[in-house]
Amino acid sequence: MMSSRLQVLPGFAPSYITRVRLLIQHPMETGFRFDVDGKAVSKNVIHTLVAEFVGVRVFKATLGSGISADPYLEFHLRTPHSGDLVLRWTDDVGNTGEARSHVTIPG
């Protein structure tokens, strides 16, 4: 399981735009580096990230080897009511991660 830090800043009426910030601790190995013995380090990057709000997919990102280690992502979504936000990601070797937050819309 990869560790992460999730920050959710809920929106207010009338737009209800919520800001989501996610930092994932992951080496994001491109496959272009060599270790001290001259052997290629295997490629291992997070390739898919999906966000669901109350069970509905609201965001999907396809990442590649051009993303730096410990990727930081920020996006906005419309949240007209309170509910659970779940973010899930998968890397090239099959490791997965998940971050959750309950979004509370004031008012």
> How many separate domains does the chain show?
1
**Contact between residue 27 and residue 65 where contact means Cβ atoms under 8 Å apart:** no
Q: Domain holding 35: CATH number?
A: 2.60.40.10
Query: One digit per residue, pLDDT tens: the chain, 107 residues?
Result: 689 999 999 988 778 999 999 999 999 999 899 999 999 999 999 999 999 999 999 999 999 888 999 999 999 999 999 999 999 999 999 999 999 999 998 86
- Contacting residues for 62 by C-beta, under 8 A, at least 6 apart: 47, 48
Given this model, what pLDDT does residue 1 score? Answer: 61
Q: Tokens standing for 22? A: 């996610």
Query: Which range of residues forms the domain containing residue 42?
Result: 4-103
